[in-house]
Amino acid sequence: MSGHGEPVPMTARRSGALRGVAEVPGDKSISHRALILGALSVGETRVSGLLEGQDVLDTAKAMRAFGAEVTRLGAGDWSVHGVGVGGFAEPADVIDCGNSGTGVRLIMGAMATSPVTATFTGDASLRKRPMGRVTEPLALFGARAYGRHGGRLPMTVVGAAEPVPVRYTVPMPSAQVKSAILLAGLNAPGETVVIEKEPTRDHSERMLRGFGAQLTVEDAPEGRIITLTGRPELRPQTVAVPRDPSSAAFPVCAALIVEGSDILVPGVSQNPTRNGLYTTLVEMGADIAFENPREEGGEPVADLRVRFSALKGIEVPEDRAASMIDEYPVLSVVAACAEGTTVMRGVKELRVKESDRIDAMARGLEAMGVRVEEDEDTLIVHGMGPGGVPGGATAKTHIDHRIAMSFLVLGLAAQKPVSIDDGSPIATSFPVFEGLMAGLGAQIVRSNA
């Protein structure tokens, strides 16, 4: 499991033009939700295209611990026999969510309104991350949580035996918090209302409706008001998971900065709550064609044809942050290879991800010879133009898959090789990254091989 085993140092070298088709894995957010909602339905849910990254495998294991039957039928094909809303059994052991904030927070929500007690833990990265943002609203349903100082894991959650519905305004832009409350609301009588001031990824809303819950969304001056009617009988579904736009970001950004590249990334979700990176890249001058737009698994998808581009720095609109929150690390790599300055404001949520991503990117980029500025809520990268980044250093990845992949992408276009201290976390979200990138012609190796 990531963060538990031996570190895997890796090195990326300046590469020739990237060519070919990059079939990236299934969407991580949708994969977690498919397993959890499948476990809360009565009957068999079938999932195809499930991301078989460690984060999602840990959620599958957790759903088994709560009583669901979860079976792998073939590559990406899974079956979940659920126990129904309110049907969770008490786990016999500690639930280890590994590296996954989404896994632990959504599962805490899903069990918080059932009369069961569960203890959660995770790897060294997850044990540093704040859980108070979910346990505070879950307490309003009647659940109790006992964790380490600062609301950190390991943490025991005692589910409410007689939950009450909740009306809650989420104080930070967080789809995980929103989703935890909605999942808890499933087993509370009456209407649970979640208000988000800024829209975040809406997979929970789409999928809850798909599984038969009654859920309405209203845009009001105070924000997006989501109302869920509790105690539905969720109907098992067939879920086709679209490819993950956050994983697609790595080959896409690599092709944009490696001279002569021309690649196709098929079937990538273009859900408007997820596609901020692509809008930003186009504004920077990226040559991306969104071909064959269609709907798959209830999500808008397109095939992305991406060619090397001369990019210019821009100011990323602050209100776009939530729709590209996981993509700032790789955007800052692209920004380093662009002409001019890229300003990323309103990004303080990056500080509580798998690592403090503002700090991790700033220190790593500086080590590679790039000038950056940062404050609590801002990252500014001074671009060095195509082929202009010196490289020649090792970046620390802090048990963070996206930091690891971002610096490997940078190495494909930097003057000297770029190394990372540990590539093992990549398996949490993109287990086929090395093979996929090698297939495009990227020079990425395990440094100690």
Q: Does 422 participate in binding ligand S3P (rule CB under 6 A)?
A: no
Smallest gap from Cβ 174 to ligand S3P, in A, equals: 3
- Residue from 174, 247, 261, 428 binding ligand S3P (CB under 6 A): 174
Backbone angles phi, psi at 324, to 5 degrees: -145, 25
Residues 439/20, Cβ–Cβ less than 8 Å: yes
128 appears as a binding residue in the annotation: no
**Orientation angle between helical segments 28-39 and 203-210, nearest 10 degrees:** 40
Catalytic residue among 123, 326, 400, 422: 326
Calpha distance 291→163 (Å, rounded): 47
**Catalytic-residue membership of 93:** no
In this complex, which beta carbon is closest to ligand S3P, that of residue 179 or of residue 424? 179
- Residue from 10, 65, 175, 184 binding ligand S3P (CB under 6 A): 175
The residues facing 152 across adjacent strands are 148
Calpha distance 123→128 (Å, rounded): 9
Q: Work out whether the CA dihedral 347, 351, 352, 355 comes out positive or negative.
A: positive
Q: Does 201 participate in binding ligand S3P (rule CB under 6 A)?
A: yes
In this complex, which beta carbon is closest to ligand S3P, that of residue 110 or of residue 175? 175
In this complex, which beta carbon is closest to ligand S3P, that of residue 9 or of residue 133? 133
Q: Does 273 participate in binding ligand S3P (rule CB under 6 A)?
A: no
Please give the residues from 317 up to 356 whose contact with ligand S3P meets the rule CB under 6 A: 325-326, 349
In this complex, which beta carbon is closest to ligand S3P, that of residue 270 or of residue 415? 270
Residues 85/39, Cβ–Cβ less than 8 Å: no
Residues 400/272, Cβ–Cβ less than 8 Å: no
Site string for ligand S3P, 26-55 (x = CB under 6 A): ---x--------------------------
Q: Are strands 394-395 and 418-420 parallel, antiparallel or unpaired?
A: parallel
357 appears as a binding residue in the annotation: yes
Site string for ligand S3P, 133-172 (x = CB under 6 A): ----------------------------------------
Contacting range for ligand S3P; rule: CB under 6 A; set: 119-127, 147-155, 173-181, 335-343: 173-181
129 appears as a binding residue in the annotation: yes
In this complex, which beta carbon is closest to ligand S3P, that of residue 12 or of residue 175? 175
Return the closest-CA partner of residue 265 out of 238, 247, 286.
247
Calpha distance 217→226 (Å, rounded): 5
- Specify the DSSP element, H or E, that contains 104: helix 101-111
Return the closest-CA partner of residue 206 out of 87, 281, 296, 103.
296
Return the closest-CA partner of residue 101 out of 42, 160, 172.
172
- Residue from 179, 187, 332, 355 binding ligand S3P (CB under 6 A): 179
Residues in the chain: 449
Residues 301/26, Cβ–Cβ less than 8 Å: no
Known catalytic residues?
Answer: 326
Binding residues for phosphoenolpyruvate: 28, 101, 129, 176, 357, 402
Known binding positions for 3-phosphoshikimate: 28-29, 33, 174, 176, 326, 353
Query: Binding residues for ligand S3P, per CB under 6 A?
Result: 29, 102, 174-176, 179, 201, 325-326, 349
